[in-house]
């Protein structure tokens, strides 16, 4: 833009110099032009044929006699003059007024053109400044958006790092971990039960074959189990450990006269193991359904905003703690 303005200024300066030179040398050029016109006219006139003789040359001159000696008449010449019939001339005052009006209109038109040019230049400058400010605001907004994006990414990474690993793991891995934990729990229960008897290895190998109980005992046991299950649905998860502790304490404190009741205790232990296995199967089914629901909820929450992710993570942690307490 500066180069364009410089070029325009140079052009204006050059035009002004040319106008000044013309004003200084206009009379010389006018004189030269007049001489050329005069030369052309003289050459044209010299090239023309000679003019016809004038009318007065062919008039015969009559001798006029002396008035004293002759009559009183005199000789009259013929009149050959062409009179101008249109003698009306324009009014110079009106012509001057019209010229003044025309000059004023020209000046007004020039001033109006200058005003329009100034207004257009002002509008162009305002639009250019507006575009520059818009570009600056856009750059500023882009920088702020990049900064906010980096902060959001860092915050999301922190939330993902704080999330429990159970939400990231696959369902079959969770089921495997729960099965391993259940197996370790069973082994710990067997070790605790066999601590006083000093039995090593698998408990099933050390069991002695006993005859099956009667039908009445089985029916009575089942009825008792059903009644206990209906009454204590909330305490079924903590029941194996309590029964095992009761059995261990009863066996440790029982006298030698109670050794005859070992057969029903073994049957109760087998029932307890069967019940543990059934509860284990129920827990696995429940955990699978919970894992699927947790996966669906985590997927929906991760797609939503970060605060929702944090609330979902806390809810999943509470669910995991509650499931661990139930187990």
Is 19 inside any structural domain?
Answer: no
| Long-range Cβ pairs for the range 183-187 (8 Å, 24+) | 185/327, 186/276
- According to DSSP, residue 170 is labeled -
Furthest-apart CA atoms within the chain: distance in Å: 218
Q: What residue numbers bound the domain in which 130 lies? A: 93-162
Question: Are 146 and 263 members of one domain?
Answer: no
Q: Single out the residue in 143, 162, 181 at which a domain terminates.
A: 162
pLDDT of amino acid 220: 46
Looking at the domain assignment, is residue 176 inside a domain?
A: yes
User: Does 58 fall in a domain?
Assistant: no
Q: Are residues 143 and 248 in the same domain?
A: no
Which candidate, 324, 325, 323, 321, places its Cα nearest to that of 290? Answer: 323
The predicted structure's pLDDT at residue 237: 42
245 and 178 co-located in one domain: yes
pLDDT at 309: 40
The reply to whether 107 and 155 lie within a common domain is yes
Nearest to 225 by CA among 270, 255, 290: 270
Phi-psi label, residue 98: left if phi above 0, alpha if psi -120 to 50, beta otherwise: alpha
What is the domain count for the chain? 2
Beta-strand runs (E) in 40-179: none
Residue 64 maps to a domain:
no
Domain match, 172 and 118 both: no
Predicted pLDDT at 259: 41
Residues 98 and 122 in one domain: yes
Say whether both 219 and 303 belong to one domain: yes
Identify whether 187 is part of a domain: yes
For residues 98 and 229, membership in a common domain is answered with no
* Residues 6+ positions from 109 with CB-CB distance below 8 Å: none
Residue 195 is predicted with a pLDDT of 66
In a domain, 69, yes or no: no
Q: Which residues of the chain have pLDDT under 70?
A: 64-81, 166, 168, 193-266, 268, 291-292, 294-327
In a domain, 322, yes or no: yes
Is residue 271 one of the residues assigned to a domain? yes
pLDDT value of residue 204:
54
Tens of pLDDT, residues 219-274 = 444 444 544 444 444 444 444 444 444 444 444 444 444 444 444 556 767 777 77
Residue with tokens 């050459």: 43
pLDDT at 300: 60
User: 109 and 157 in one domain?
Assistant: yes
Instruction: Specify whether the backbone of 106 is left (phi greater than 0), alpha (psi in -120 to 50) or beta.
Output: alpha
The answer on 242 and 184 residing in a single domain is yes
- Residue-level pLDDT at 170: 76
Question: Are the beta carbons of 175 and 287 closer than 8 angstroms?
Answer: yes
Domain shared by 237 and 311, yes or no: yes
pTM above 0.85, yes or no: no
Q: Are residues 157 and 271 in the same domain?
A: no
Domain end (from 162, 178, 204): 162
């Amino acid at each position: 833009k500066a180069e364009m303005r410089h070029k325009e200024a140079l052009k204006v300066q050059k035009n002004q110099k040319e106008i000044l030179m013309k004003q200084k040398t206009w009379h010389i050029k006018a004189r030269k032009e007049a001489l050329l016109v005069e030369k052309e006219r003289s050459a044209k006139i010299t090239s023309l044929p000679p003019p016809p003789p004038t009318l007065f040359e062919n008039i015969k001159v009559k001798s006029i006699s002396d008035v004293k000696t002759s009559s009183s008449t005199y000789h009259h010449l013929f009149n050959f003059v062409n009179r101008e019939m249109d003698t009306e001339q324009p009014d110079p005052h009106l012509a001057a007024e019209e010229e003044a009006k025309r000059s004023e209109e020209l000046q007004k038109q020039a001033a109006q053109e200058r005003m329009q040019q100034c207004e257009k230049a002002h509008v162009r400058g305002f639009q250019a400044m507006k575009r520059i400010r818009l570009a600056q605001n856009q750059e500023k907004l882009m920088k702020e958006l990049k900064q906010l994006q980096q902060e959001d990414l860092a915050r999301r990474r922190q939330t993902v790092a704080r999330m429990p690993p159970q939400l990231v793991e696959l369902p079959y891995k969770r089921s495997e971990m729960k099965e391993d934990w259940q197996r370790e729990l069973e082994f710990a229960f067997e070790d605790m039960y066999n601590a006083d008897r000093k039995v090593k290895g698998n408990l099933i190998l050390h069991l002695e074959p006993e005859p099956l109980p009667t039908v009445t005992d089985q029916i009575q046991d089942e009825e008792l189990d059903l009644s206990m299950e209906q009454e204590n649905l909330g305490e079924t998860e903590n029941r194996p450990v309590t029964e095992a502790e009761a059995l261990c304490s009863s066996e440790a404190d029982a006298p030698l006269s109670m050794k005859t009741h070992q057969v029903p205790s073994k049957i109760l232990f087998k029932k307890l193991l069967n019940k543990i296995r059934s509860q284990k199967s129920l827990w696995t089914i429940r955990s699978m359904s919970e894992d699927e629901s947790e996966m669906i909820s985590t997927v929906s929450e991760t797609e939503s905003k970060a605060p929702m992710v944090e609330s979902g993570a806390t809810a999943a942690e509470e669910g995991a703690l509650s499931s661990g307490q139930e187990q």
